[in-house]
Amino acid sequence: MDRIRIRGGRPLIGTIPISGAKNAALPLMATTLLTDQPLTLTNMPRLVDIATMATLLAQHGVDVHRNDHPNGKAGFGGEMRLTTANITSTTAPYELVRRMRASVLVLGPLLARCGRARVSLPGGCAIGTRPVDLHIGGLRQMGASIDLVGGYIEAEAPKGLSGATIVFPMVSVGATENLLMAATLARGDTELVNAAREPEVVDLARCLQAMGADIEGIGTDRLRIRGRDRLGGARHAIVSDRIEAGTYAMAAAITGGRIELLDTRLELILAVAKILTNAGVEFTETATGVVVSRANGALIGVDVMTEPFPGFPTDLQAQMMAVMCTAQGAAMITETIFENRFMHVPELMRMGANITVHQASALVRGVGRLTGAPVMATDLRASVSLVLAGLVAEGTTELNRVYHLDRGYDRLEEKLAACGASVERIKAEG
Ligand code: EPZ
């Protein structure tokens, strides 16, 4: 397995192009199942999860064409053309769903277009149990009959789905996306109440609109969808990855550097910018992106609580914890979205961090320095938090299980190295 070796201690200075958002691209790809017309997605990031979704869609009968920028450099998003003339299989097999939970996003579209779907239950994951009861409950309210058989969700709606008012008891990005897609082809009106407002949900709704869907309330927690008989094709540019932008903002913060994040907008990372500003980091919006700098002064400990958008994202909690490890004073970091998202704590402590976890909160007491160590992590964001810690640590950090990073960070080493980081990938032998 590949490893990443980082020699810490250099402030990062330069520009980093931000790629299209993984978590927008995945549901957007699933919308191809709603139409027999071509869908072209631009600003497509190059990630293992995207390839997994393409494999899943191909086995449903989707014709997937990928056209990456010829010079293949960071920042040049590729194009993907997806055409689903016919759906040849309505089964999403365990083998693919277990590799990537977002595979469950094919459930709503398959059911809406074909009247049936058989999708493996994703099971637990490193950050929590992550049930899909809200997806299933919502589809049942829309008239689907659903059984759980042999580890699969077996759903049927032979006469099609019907509109319904669905009130989510908690905010779920995936359930909002699945039901939004399903509702575009349902009979009658659907209302999604307490819907997720994440920019990735907004991006999905905008693309569906371009495909002919009738959606009101985009960007609010109440989405109203008037079902249509059919949707058409569209060409859509994927929103920039706010989690990637936030991660590199933290790279500037932790190393005391200055990075211009290209092709993104401050409004996407406003909650993060507010917190980091209180910690002593500066954010300036430019015509081309956002400049993040901590050229002078120390980092100051600040408290953080994760929340659904527009709050501080859970997908940046691990990175924020790494930043707080070397801040002056203490920081209380509270995770409210997932019940097991502190797996990076013991690894950060192996690098010299002082962290005490009590239930959903971690108390981080800033230490003068971190030291490099061999580390590994169990998920994508935990892995990148260790990269951030490695950038500021004395000596060498070697990160194992790099495949987690490849699922969600488009050319991470290239982007960091362009700002002066000493980061190299060590290829596995054989
Ligand atoms: C999306 O996951 C993201 N993934 C996650 O990013 C992100 O952490 C999460 O939203 C929260 O922002 C994609 O977009 C592909 P949820 P999702 O449904 O949709 C509970 C990353 O690192 N819940 O909003 O699966 C759930 O257990 C990944 O890129 C139910 O109880 O998250 C969690 O506690 C990791 N029942 C909470 O809701 C359900 O049916 C929020 O989950 C659904 C969710």
CA 421–ligand 1 middle distance (angstroms) = 32
**pTM score, two decimals?**
0.97
What is the band of 128 on the pLDDT scale with cuts at 50, 70, 90?
confident
pLDDT value of residue 100: 95
CA 13–ligand 1 middle distance (angstroms) = 33
User: Distance (Å, rounded) from C-alpha 325 to C-alpha 398?
Assistant: 18
Q: What mean pLDDT is predicted for residues 273-300? A: 95
Q: Are β-strands 258-262 and 396-400 bridged in parallel, bridged antiparallel, or unpaired?
A: unpaired
Going by C-alpha positions, the residue among 242, 250, 248 that lies closest to residue 416 is: 248
What is the band of 31 on the pLDDT scale with cuts at 50, 70, 90?
very high
More confident residue, 130 or 52: 52
Q: List the residue whose alpha carbon is closest to atom 38 of ligand 1.
A: 172
CB 243 within 8 A of CB 313: yes
Q: Is the shortest distance between the CB of 5 and ligand 1 below 6 Å?
A: no
Q: Please enumerate in sequence order all residues whose Cβ is within 8 A of that of 385, keeping only pairs 6 or more positions apart, or say none.
A: 318, 319, 321, 322, 344, 348, 377
Q: Is the shortest distance between the CB of 420 and ligand 1 below 6 Å?
A: no
pLDDT value of residue 77: 74
**What is the separation of C-alpha 292 from the centre of its chain, rounded to a whole number of angstroms?**
21
Q: What mean pLDDT is predicted for residues 264-293? A: 97
Question: In this model, does residue 32 exceed pLDDT 90?
Answer: yes
Q: Is the shortest distance between the CB of 174 and ligand 1 below 6 Å?
A: yes
Residue 224's SS3 state is strand
Q: What mean pLDDT is predicted for residues 8-28? A: 98
Over residues 342-394, the pLDDT tens digits come to 999 999 999 999 999 999 999 999 998 999 999 998 899 999 999 999 999 99
Question: In the Cβ-directed half-sphere of 418, how many Cα atoms lie within 13 Å?
Answer: 16
**Closest approach atom of ligand 1 to CA 198:** 12
User: Distance (Å, rounded) from C-alpha 358 to C-alpha 348?
Assistant: 16
Q: Is the shortest distance between the CB of 150 and ligand 1 below 6 Å?
A: no
Q: Is the shortest distance between the CB of 408 and ligand 1 below 6 Å?
A: yes
Q: Which two tokens stand for residue 263?
A: 């092709």
Q: Are β-strands 222-226 and 214-216 bridged in parallel, bridged antiparallel, or unpaired?
A: antiparallel
User: What's the helix, strand, coil split of the chain in %, to 5?
Assistant: 35, 30, 40
User: Distance (Å, rounded) from C-alpha 171 to C-alpha 309?
Assistant: 10
Q: Which two tokens stand for residue 117?
A: 């779907």
Q: List the residue whose alpha carbon is closest to atom 43 of ligand 1.
A: 132
CA 313–ligand 1 middle distance (angstroms) = 11
Over residues 4-17, the pLDDT tens digits come to 999 999 999 999 99
Q: List the residue whose alpha carbon is closest to atom 9 of ligand 1.
A: 173
For the chain, the average pLDDT equals 96
Residue 11's SS3 state is coil
Instruction: State the helix-helix crossing angle for 107-114 and 133-141, rounded to 10 degrees.
Output: 20
pLDDT value of residue 430: 64
Q: Is there a catalytic annotation at residue 125?
A: yes
Q: List the residue whose alpha carbon is closest to atom 41 of ligand 1.
A: 172
CB burial of 326-336 (b: ≥16 within 10 Å; e: otherwise) equals bbeeebebebb
CA 337–ligand 1 middle distance (angstroms) = 8
Question: How many other β-carbons are positioned within 10 Å of the β-carbon of residue 346?
Answer: 12
pLDDT value of residue 270: 98
CA 314–ligand 1 middle distance (angstroms) = 9
